[in-house]
Structure 1
């Protein structure tokens, strides 16, 4: 990809992220995004169909970056592991303002939906790998229960603003996952 194109896309996404911290998404205009990114409106429309498309691409990029930065750094480490959860929550803590803005901005329910979908996929993958003997309905209910609980705890932690350390929330969340037999492999 051309460096100018990449630079413009990064500037546009960063402009949107900063504006989300200042006002409701519904009130943000393409002109404001363009002005903040120091590009013209046409540049935005050459990459995104509208501000909703920009938001979706921005959320996908942020969640992809989150997943990439938090996946196993050691091939022998089981996934999920307590250390991968700690890295994930640590990454969210580093960008707490961004995630808090996305979770608390009334115009952006799609972030929570993206986060929920990502978590649902991760939980389903773990259940399949664990070979739990569940019927399809029980598996679906377990996936929904665990993924909703995890996202709910993360949302609470970020929006409160962080009533406990990343280590404490990791320990508590990991303990809850173990109690619900989600984590079947023990860490070494």
Structure 2
């Protein structure tokens, strides 16, 4: 991709996200995005059909980064891995304003649902690949793991991240171990 095109797209996405931090997505106009990105309207329309297409592209870009961060390092760690979960929370912590905006902006189609769908797909693939047999129906296990994880992520952001990425990772990992959703790495005492 041409560097100029990439630079324009990054500026446009950054402008959208900064405006979303200030007001509902439904109230943002293409003119405001163009002005904030220091490009003309035509540049935006040369890359995106409308602001909804721009939002989708922005969400996909950040979901791809999130997914890449949570994948195990090939040959080094298994899935699920506490280290991959920690990398994911660290990425979210580093980009806290972005994820807070996407999770809390009233005018955004439910970002939470997109994150959960991404997790469901990844968990389903890992269960199929690794042949986990916990005596549970796969669809129930996938729903439980994805809902629990997204719920914790959403709570963490809507409560101004009261714990560090390392602390929230430890908490979530322990909960998953207690519910026998992942192999235990150390003895865990019941609460």
TM-score, normalized by length of structure 1? Answer: 0.91
In 2, the alpha carbon distance for the partners of 1:71 and 1:132 equals 17
Q: What stretches of structure 2 of length at least 5 have no aligned partner?
A: 187-191
Which structure 2 residues correspond to residues 7-156 of structure 1 after superposition, within 5 A?
7-73=7-73, 75-133=75-133, 138-156=137-155
In 2, the alpha carbon distance for the partners of 1:110 and 1:56 equals 11
Are the aligned partners of 1:17 and 1:98 in contact in 2 as well (CA < 8 Å)? yes
Are the aligned partners of 1:103 and 1:109 in contact in 2 as well (CA < 8 Å)? no
How big is each residue's C-alpha offset from its partner over 1:41-82, in whole Å with a ceiling of 9 and x where there is no partner? 111111111111100000000111222244334522112210
Tell me the CA shift for residue 126 of structure 1: 2.5
In 2, the alpha carbon distance for the partners of 1:97 and 1:79 equals 28
Higher helix content, 1 or 2:
1
**Are 2:167 and 1:180 aligned?**
no
TM-score, normalized by length of structure 2? Answer: 0.89
Q: What stretches of structure 1 of length at least 5 have no aligned partner?
A: none
Are the aligned partners of 2:103 and 2:110 in contact in 1 as well (CA < 8 Å)? no
How big is each residue's C-alpha offset from its partner over 1:9-43, in whole Å with a ceiling of 9 and x where there is no partner? 11101101111111110110100000001111111
Q: Structure 1 residues 170 and 123 mapped into 2: Cα distance closer, same or farther (>3 Å)?
A: same
Report the count of equivalent residues: 186
In 2, the alpha carbon distance for the partners of 1:153 and 1:183 equals 17
Tell me the CA shift for residue 186 of structure 1: 4.2
In 2, the alpha carbon distance for the partners of 1:2 and 1:13 equals 17
Alignment match, 1:166: 165
In 1, the alpha carbon distance for the partners of 2:87 and 2:109 equals 25
In 2, the alpha carbon distance for the partners of 1:142 and 1:163 equals 28
Q: Structure 1 residues 129 and 73 mapped into 2: Cα distance closer, same or farther (>3 Å)?
A: closer
